[in-house]
Structure 1
Amino acid sequence: MLKYTFETNTHELKTWVDPNNGNLNIQIGDETVNIPHETGMELIAVIRQKQVMYREVDRKRLSSWSKFMEMISGDDKNNIWSSSVSEN
């Protein structure tokens, strides 16, 4: 059985697919919701799409941060802009 668990300081969310009927089950605390297969598949597709979008945004954020830090440190590999510190 495929089971995902997401935890925060105050909540725990568990999701799994029922192997008997393919329904998606979501449990938050003591409450469990059973979602029919068709609706569950749509939810999973949306969640996967959002994960891909989040990863892309995070990748771009990290890339932008790295480029910014390279520019500040003077290690810009593209030689677009660089800075240096000197004592006079």
Structure 2
Amino acid sequence: MLGRIQLPSGNAGVPNVSYYDLALAVLPLPLLVGLLVGKLFSVPTQVGVSAGAALSAIALGHLLFRDPPTRRGPRGPVGGSSA
């Protein structure tokens, strides 16, 4: 027992990535795509970045107001069954 090392989280080192973690990680992608479109094509950079920012803002609004994080999780109770 003395030689065993137990992680404080109890999840054996596997990160617990939620839907919202992934959504926040990909939130800047429309902005970066807009920047690349502005640089590579004949679209003004300001227009590309503005379009990407608008898409990111729409996605953020959806995450905050249409599908907000709750204690139960984004798709129902933690246990998976809704009673």
TM-score (norm 2): 0.34
Q: Which has more radius of gyration?
A: 1
| Structure having the larger proportion of residues in helix | 2
| Structure having the larger proportion of residues in strand | 1
Report which structure shows greater RCO (CA 8 Å, sep ≥6): 2
TM-score (norm 1): 0.32
